[in-house]
Amino acid sequence: MHYLLSHRTTYTYASSVDSAHHIAHLRARAFPGQKVTSIGIVTHPQPALAVEHVDHFGNLIDIYRLDQPHQRFDIEVRADIEVKFPDPPPEKETPPWEEIRKALGGAGFPAPIEASEFVHESPLVPIEDALRAYGAESLTPRRPILEAARDLTTRIKNDFDYHPGATDISTPLHEVFEGKAGVCQDFAHVMIAALRAHGLAAGYVSGYIRTVNSKEEAALRGADASHAWVAVWCGEKAGWVHLDPTNDLVASQDHVAIAWGRDFSDVSPLRGVILGGGRHTYSVAVTLVPTG
């Protein structure tokens, strides 16, 4: 699927900002299954310094320094992207999840080095006993890893209510789990925690979703196209498989990936430090237009 993407964020400050430093995760990354034909970012005011960089996880980031006083900051990305995630292997042909856990542990020398760092706790995904028990219902003995992970996505979709406003990024994971309501980032964190609690590797993926599925003509759950899901390590042969617990889907051509990390804190679309400004409000406008 070919998409034209526009993502505009506007910050309005109660008083003048004298200077600011921002880090943006807004550039879609290229990988097998996604090709970025063109991409550009425009800011207002223009920064005194703008640097492109690649972070620890291979994401493309932009670093800005704004020196001139301003009461409004606009940043917009426009991109031309082609998406077709590779089809995963049949679920029952993937290894038992215990074998994946053993390889990720590796007695101190894990075989998949890059995947092994996604086994551990992270700032927004602590290991909770309740999430361990929740994951255990899907991770039954000798069950193939992808079959177990798909069962977990289905259960999260059925057990949790999609309720914008029920949580925010500061809501602790245990409160999300107890309340059984939230949005896509919450459900991604729940799934990641349930898998990591059993020694499995799961990463947080930030991106967008086409909110109408062309095959079913049914609305998919997502916040104005902004979305988050989970990449699960399914072994050397299958690699990372992207699963969407909010909609109980295997990512295919309805998902556009921007960045991935351990949790939302690694891939926040925009964060920074400002001098002045007082209270602020912000607005986000996203359009994801399929063109064929």
- pLDDT (tens digit per residue) in 191-219: 999 999 999 999 999 999 987 654 544 45
- In the predicted model, what is the mean pLDDT of residues 146-175? 95
Tell me the Ramachandran region of residue 224: left when phi exceeds 0, alpha when psi lies from -120 to 50, beta otherwise. left
- In the predicted model, what is the mean pLDDT of residues 84-108? 92
Lowest mean pLDDT among 97-111, 146-160, 183-197, 231-245: 97-111
Task: Tell me what pLDDT residue 223 has.
Answer: 55
* pTM greater than 0.95 (yes/no): no
pLDDT above 50: residue 158: yes
What's the Cα-to-Cα distance from 260 to each of 25, 160, 216, rounded to whole Å? 10, 23, 28
Lowest mean pLDDT among 61-70, 112-121, 211-220, 229-238: 211-220
The residue among 101, 91, 92 whose CA lies nearest residue 201 is 101
Task: Tell me what pLDDT residue 62 has.
Answer: 97
Instruction: Say which residue, 78 or 109, is predicted with more confidence.
Output: 78
pLDDT above 80: residue 142: yes
pLDDT above 90: residue 21: yes
Task: Tell me what pLDDT residue 224 has.
Answer: 61
Instruction: Say which residue, 226 or 196, is predicted with more confidence.
Output: 196
Please give the mean pLDDT across all residues of the chain. 92
Task: Tell me what pLDDT residue 217 has.
Answer: 46
Share of the chain above pLDDT 90, in %: 81
Q: For residues 37 and 108, is the Cβ–Cβ distance under 8 A?
A: no
Task: Tell me what pLDDT residue 216 has.
Answer: 47
Task: Tell me what pLDDT residue 221 has.
Answer: 61
Task: Tell me what pLDDT residue 220 has.
Answer: 60
Confidence of residue 222 (pLDDT cuts 50, 70, 90): low
Task: Tell me what pLDDT residue 169 has.
Answer: 85
Lowest mean pLDDT among 5-14, 101-110, 219-228, 279-288: 219-228
Confidence of residue 225 (pLDDT cuts 50, 70, 90): confident
What span, in angstroms and rounded, lies between the C-alpha atoms of 165 and 55?
31
